[in-house]
Amino acid sequence: YVPPKSVNATRKLLESNKQLATRITEVKEANFTGGIIAENIDGTLRIDNSYESRLEMLLPILLPEISNEFFKTP
């Protein structure tokens, strides 16, 4: 899966890279900002590397750091 704005670029990439094209059977559109979501043929394995999922993973780490920067005492 790729975001709507990336569908054409992804298809062009596959047309120019035959080795990669043999491993990717279908390009689907999904509603997210950027990145990629890949899954195997039967859907039993899914790798979500979208911007949203990466940000979700980082927020618990980044929020305390951001808070410390904004609210630290001089």
Looking at residue 47, what is its pLDDT?
A: 97
Query: For the chain, what are the domain ranges?
Result: 4-71
CA distance 67 to 6: 34
Quickly state the pLDDT bin for 59 (edges 50, 70, 90).
Answer: very high
Block residue for tokens 């900002």:
33
At 7-49, the pLDDT tens digits run 999 999 999 999 999 999 899 999 999 999 999 989 899 999 9
In order, the DSSP letters of 21-62 are HTT-----B-SSSSEEEEE-TTSS-EEEEEHHHHHHHHHHHH
**Mean pLDDT of the 54-59 span:** 95
Q: Is the pLDDT of residue 73 over 80?
A: no
Looking at residue 55, what is its pLDDT?
A: 95
Q: What is the pTM of this model?
A: 0.74
Q: Are 8 and 35 in contact (CB under 8 A)?
A: no
